[in-house]
Structure 1
Amino acid sequence: MSVCSSVRSNGSSRYRRISDGSTVDRTLFGTKNDQRRQKEPALQRKAFIRLSELNRIKESTAAPLPSACLSSNAAGEDKKAVAEARKAHMKRLELEELDRQRKSGSRHDDAKLERIRKHAQEKIDEGQDIVKLLRTCSERAATFAIRDQQLKDKAEREEKEHAYEQRMILAMEIDRLKEIEAREAEEALKLRKMVHDRKIIENQIEERRQARLLLEEARDQENKEMLEQMKRYREQDEANARARREEAARARKEIIRANEEHIRSKKERKVLEKREDEMMEAYQMEQDEKMRRREAEEEEAERKKREVQKRLLDEQERTMDRQSEMDELRARRAMEDAERKYRQKQLLDAQRRRRDKEVLDEARRQQQEEKERREEEERRARKDEYREAMAQSLSMAERERLEAERAEKKNQELIQNLQQQMLENSLLEEERKKEKYREGSILLQEMAEEKAKLHFIRDKFVQEMKDKG
């Protein structure tokens, strides 16, 4: 008995004392004012209609009469009787409705009071120490069960989280290895591409060098050909000059020989003419001697004839001297003309050689300028190639840096996503915990209801046993 009392005292000490009397906490069941406010809506549920609606209802609820069989004088009385009957009927219906509303309100109030009394009785019953002890034991058992379930769920959750973390670590490691392999493959591809590009550039440089060598060889060959052509031209000019000199010497010799022959022929003609003159004089002397014996008058004629002949001979001699002078003049003019033509030809050859030399110098100057221009273009091309190679290397370095930044950003995003997922998982786990706690409270409520049912059944059994004695 002492144990039960101690248990009861310990159980009762855990609950707050409300009152010494048998009053009930009005915060649970409301006050009289609340009950009055709950009754007032029942009284305020009266229906009010307008007079026109009431007349319409009365007319619609009037019993049909066989007006066709009545006379016209009795129609007014019948209508009045019907109206009176309808009015009495409506008043009766209104009184019945008021009575029904009053009865339903009283029944509703009685049911509500009954529910309040029943609930108060249940609260009083639940306030007993034994009920509290039983409730405490059941709550302890439920709490221990919930705690065991929570520990089990926590272990399962930790195991799942550990497995999830292991999977995520494994997935991250796999992704990291894949990324490393992809980066290595990309680096190898870049290296192969760089080697291929370098080979292409080296081949292009070699091709350009070969082209420059071929161009220089062609230019040297062209220069050699031009030099050989100039040499041939020079030799040809020298040969032509020698031929011209020989031709001029031969022409001079021929002119001199022709002059000598002409002079010799002229001298021979003079000798022949003198010989002829001598022969003619001898013949004339012979004729004179033969004809001296002729008439004297023929001597005068002969003398005149000799004078005439002498005059003619003088004229002929003068004519021959003039002819030789003309021949010498022609020969001298021909020689001067030949010398003038030779000098003119020499001058033209010198001018042509000077023009050829100027053309050759201009060609050499143009070749030198072309060579310098090509060298300058090659230098610019090499500088451009160097700048392009540097720009390409810088762009590749920049691209690699950007790729590294993107990879780092991707890793950071992956880490953030994983952290976000872990945070979401923790929030979901907390939400599940709260849900479990809510389920626990629901279970507690259900257990309380079940316990109340058990108490009711127990009380019922006890009462039955008491009734049975």
Structure 2
Amino acid sequence: MFSQPGSAVSFGGSQTSSGSRRARTRQYHTVATTSQVDESLFGNSAKKQAPGGDPLTIERQAEARISKRKSSSGPKREVVQLVTKDLIRNLIIPHEDPSGDSVVLRRGEFERIRQQARVITAEERKAAEDAQKQAKEQAVDQLHERKNYMKEKDMERKQNEQLNDLEEEEREKSDHLRAKAIFMLQEQEDEIKHLNELILNAKCQAIRDAQLLEKDQITRELTDEEKRLDDMMEIDRVNAIRMEEEIQHKIRQERLIGAKKIMDQIAENEQDRLLLLERKDQENRLMQKYLDKLCAEDMEKLQRRRAEQNRLYEELNSCNSDLLFRKEYQKEQERVLDQKVLAYQKAKAEREMAFEKEQERIRIEKEKETARLRALQERQRDEQAERDALRAKRAQEEAERQWRRKEAEEAKKKAETVEMLKNARSKQQMQKEHFLSVQAQRERSDFERVLRAQQELVVKEQREDQDRKKKNLAYADDVRGQIREKEQVRIADRNAFFHEGVKMEDEARKRRMKLDEVKAKKLDELRSVGINEKYLSQVERKVNKPDSLMV
């Protein structure tokens, strides 16, 4: 019943070949990053021991199983035929565990292990997280509801409490301010603004109609008033014409009276003119007499003036003759004085000429003395020149001796200097070679130091590169985690947005109710003011339009 060893080997080879083919055709996928095994699957972890206390060996266990299998009697064992690619095998299914380590589990434990062994997919994990988040949101909502309920109860308790006068007054003020704030907020609504515009237009139209009626009334009153004024002006014109005629009649009468008075005045003026002419004639005669008297007096004064002029002329002639005599005498005195001056100048010139001759004689004598002294100086200068030439020759010879001595000293000093320079040059050459060797050693040490620094820098850069890669990997993991968190936040925001939409619809409905109440209140106020119903109907029709906000 058991298969041959060769067949077993061939079966193993077929399994190996088929496994290798599957390995080449399939690709391994990671199911989980960690592995866990329930310890219940292994039964009792303690080792089985023989009655004597020693552990059973493998051979004894095998012999015990074989003897037990032979001694056991029962129904026929189940055989399973296994067909492979290269052979057919019959496998016997044993009734008991050959190893003796089988474990019997309860159904609940088995289900628990199976549930834990199942791999959770991303959808299931997301659904579980959503369910957990929804449960948390429900708990938060319930908490808010309980908190709001407690606040409402607290407000009811505070409202039911008895307030004193100050608290009552403060409450009234706060209610008034709250109502005013609510009213101002309602007035800021677009629909209320549009309604206010419509109401204002209706009021303007009503006021305009009233103004038109008032204008017509005023026009009629002005027409009546103008007609009344025209009648009054006509009456005034007739009265003025009558008064003008009376005035003209009076003027004519006054002119006649004035003409008569003027004629009387002309006659009187003529009499006065004649009297005036006669009086002027008398005055002219008296004036002529007075002028004749003045002319006589002027003639007498003229004669006296002419006599005085003649006397003055004679005195002037005598004075002129006296002046001429004096001028002649003065000329004579000047001529005598000029002669004296000429004589003095001539004597002075003679004295100066004699003085110049004396000076010329003295000058000639001085020149002669100077020539004698110059000749004497020439002789002395020649003797001094000879002495100077001799002294110069001696000085030149002394200078030549000193120059030759100096040249010898300089040659000696130059030789010493050349020798010293040779020694210094050789010493400098040795110092230069030593310096070059020291410099080469220093450069070699610097090169080695720079090389070590570069090697350390390369190692440091490699280490920093590795650290940077690790940081980049960590940063990438962090970014992925942030992306996952943001995705979760976005999902939560979307859920909150849907909840917020429901709340906004409820708030919009409440707002619409409040706006309708405000509209009705404003229309009632217009009716109470007494606005014509025609304008009220227009306002209601425009307000109740669906697109009233777009007007």
What TM-score, normalized by structure 1, do the two folds share? 0.21
Structure of greater relative contact order (alpha carbons < 8 Å, 6+ residues apart): 2
What TM-score, normalized by structure 2, do the two folds share? 0.18
Larger relative helix fraction: 1
